[in-house]
Amino acid sequence: MMHYVYLLQDQNKKIYIGFSSNLKRRLYEHLHNKVYTTKKMIDPKLIYYEAYNNLDAARTREKKLKQFGSSYKGLINRIELK
């Protein structure tokens, strides 16, 4: 089973970092206002995702990104979001 860490971005450039083992279902939930934390995002789009075979690796990566430290800054620079 694959596990995904993903980033959404809305029209206001707000970024949401998430984790799921079913990315397709989770995106559907985000786009149909079924997720409390992204309900107020305006037209969120999937801008990036990473796939992992290991659940712990995916959760660790999500935690690192949510600390908004060097992992987050490196990723943002790599995908040129600034």
* Contact of 23 with 6, CB cutoff 8 Å: yes
Structural domain range at position 17:
3-78
Residue 11's φ and ψ, nearest 5 degrees, are -65, -25
Question: In 1-82, which ranges are E strands?
Answer: 3-9, 15-20, 45-52
Q: Which CATH number do you get for residue 20?
A: 3.40.1440.10
Q: What is the percentage of the chain residues whose pLDDT exceeds 70?
A: 99
Environment class of 13 (CB within 10 Å of its CB; exposed 0-12, middle 13-18, buried 19+):
exposed
Q: What is the pLDDT of residues 55-64, one digit of tens each?
A: 999 999 999 9
- The structure's pTM equals 0.93
Per-residue pLDDT band for 30 (boundaries 50, 70, 90) equals very high
Number of domains within the chain: 1
